[in-house]
């Protein structure tokens, strides 16, 4: 696939790619991804998204450790995670879980971990940190689409960022900066394919819900 793939092709084929090769991603492509993320809109045009591309092995290992701790809680019996959903069979969820576990076991070897952060004016609590997401996720989706167009695998993740203090230490973040999303990026081990989503008729109404 090339950068020339249409926007709609990219949107409809932008699955979470968790199984990635260890081959390094050229620096100019990583800059290109972040530049694409940086084109996204933000509330009041604050442009407070900040991006860290982690290639350092020790920092990747620490982020992988933090992710693994959260994944173990996520897959554990007390997690409350649904084993199936009306639109997602237990078999498909099991497959997703296996790829989440693969990522947890291998994150330290993924060549680039992109961290989307938000620069606040002052230190904030977890609620406000989460609300900043509205100005971060459009950029994250731009990064995912750009990665797809460039033939790179990527996935949005948050589990590894739950321990905010440990993440701040690992990334040497200032007290007023929060990490919102972690996107592992690399060349995919598997094949790209279409996303499976609920039919538009189920999720859309005209004028009012009922
Ligand atoms: C807010 C958010 C948080 C997510 N957190 C994680 C995560 O921590 N780990 C992970 O492997 N995937 C994570 N994902 C990816 C979702 O599991 C994935 O987008 C969803 O299962 C759809 O997958 P598909 O696009 O391959 O169909 C997250 C996605 C979103 C939007």
CB of 136 closer than 8 Å to CB of 49: yes
For the segment 47-67, the average pLDDT, to the nearest whole number, is: 98
Token match 């693969």: residue? 102
Nearest ligand 1 atom to alpha carbon 197: 27
- The confidence score (pLDDT) of residue 78 equals 64
CB of 114 closer than 8 Å to CB of 143: yes
pTM (2 d.p.): 0.94
Task: Calculate how far, in angstroms, residue 142's C-alpha sits from the geometric centre of ligand 1.
Answer: 15
pLDDT, greater one: 27 or 5: 27
CATH number at residue 64: 3.40.109.10
Within-domain flag for 210: no
Distance between CA 149 and CA 147 in Å, rounded? 5
The number of domains in the chain is 1
Within-domain flag for 180: yes
Task: Calculate how far, in angstroms, residue 192's C-alpha sits from the geometric centre of ligand 1.
Answer: 16
Within-domain flag for 175: yes
Within-domain flag for 203: no
The model's confidence at residue 1, banded by pLDDT at 50, 70 and 90, is: very low
Mean pLDDT of all residues in the chain?
94
Within-domain flag for 84: no
Residue 65 pLDDT exceeds 50: yes
Domain of 107, in residue numbers = 8-76+91-189
Within-domain flag for 58: yes
Within-domain flag for 95: yes
């Amino acid at each position: 696939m090339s950068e020339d793939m249409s926007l709609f092709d990219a949107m409809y084929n932008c699955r979470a790619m968790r199984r990635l090769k260890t081959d390094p991603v050229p620096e100019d492509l990583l800059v290109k991804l972040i530049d694409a993320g940086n084109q996204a809109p933000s509330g009041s045009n604050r442009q407070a998204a900040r991006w860290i591309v982690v290639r350092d092995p020790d920092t990747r290992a620490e982020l992988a450790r933090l992710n693994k701790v959260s994944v173990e809680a996520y897959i554990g019996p007390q997690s409350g995670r649904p084993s199936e959903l009306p639109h997602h069979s237990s078999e498909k969820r099991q497959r997703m879980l296996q790829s989440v576990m693969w990522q947890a076991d291998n994150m330290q070897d993924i060549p680039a971990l992109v961290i989307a952060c938000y620069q606040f004016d002052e230190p904030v609590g977890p609620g406000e940190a989460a609300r900043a997401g509205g100005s971060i996720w459009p950029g994250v989706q731009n990064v995912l689409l750009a990665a797809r167009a460039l033939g790179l695998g990527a996935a949005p993740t948050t589990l590894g960022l739950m321990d905010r203090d440990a993440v701040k230490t690992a990334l040497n973040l200032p007290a007023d900066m929060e990490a919102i999303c972690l996107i592992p990026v690399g060349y995919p081990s598997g094949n790209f394919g279409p996303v499976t989503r609920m039919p538009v008729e189920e999720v859309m109404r005209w004028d009012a819900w009922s």
